[in-house]
Amino acid sequence: MKDEYEKVRKKYNLPLFEEIDNELDISSIEKPVRLLRQLRHLATERIKLFSDVLNVVLHPDTGVFCDWYECSSFSDEERAQILGFYKRLMIVQRSLLDAEIACDERLDADTLKLAFETLQSMKQDMRSVVTKMKGIWTRPAEPKELLGYLG
């Protein structure tokens, strides 16, 4: 797998194997056929995971208690900042979709680089959001707040 990746890495100036493997777990690919396409699919999964997390904060399903409860811990200012993160992810997600439709190796490589760079640059922001979401479960719930949700 590593040898196959090195060929496309050199051809398209992609990140080092260890870096991209750490982010996308590419060493789990058993048969590197159409390798760039497979890597793009892994990047799509990861970007979608990030955008799904942010979507809970921006547009929670009020029928799902977890979504409602976690969303309630974010201020309007924090949600505005999260919207900026979400927009960045959606640009990448739509670029990955465009590459999926085009079936072009060069476009696959370019969008893979874009996805990798975006994931790297947003890691701390995502950790901050998830830490806050996780933290809400450790604070005592206000009975009045819960009764308002539960009706």
The predicted-structure confidence for 22-53, as pLDDT tens digits, reads as follows 999 999 988 888 999 999 999 999 999 999 99
Q: What is the pTM of this model?
A: 0.88
- Residues 85-125 pLDDT 10s: 999 999 999 999 999 999 999 999 999 999 999 999 999 99
Please count the structural domains in the chain: 1
pLDDT at 82: 97
Are 122 and 89 spatial neighbours (Cβ–Cβ below 8 Å)?
Answer: yes
| Domain hosting residue 50, numbered range | 2-150
pLDDT at 24: 94
Contacts 24+ apart (CB under 8 A), 129-135: 129/53, 129/54, 129/57, 129/82, 129/85, 130/53, 132/73, 132/74, 132/78, 133/53, 133/56, 133/57, 133/70, 133/73, 135/73
As a whole number, mean pLDDT of residues 43-68 equals 91
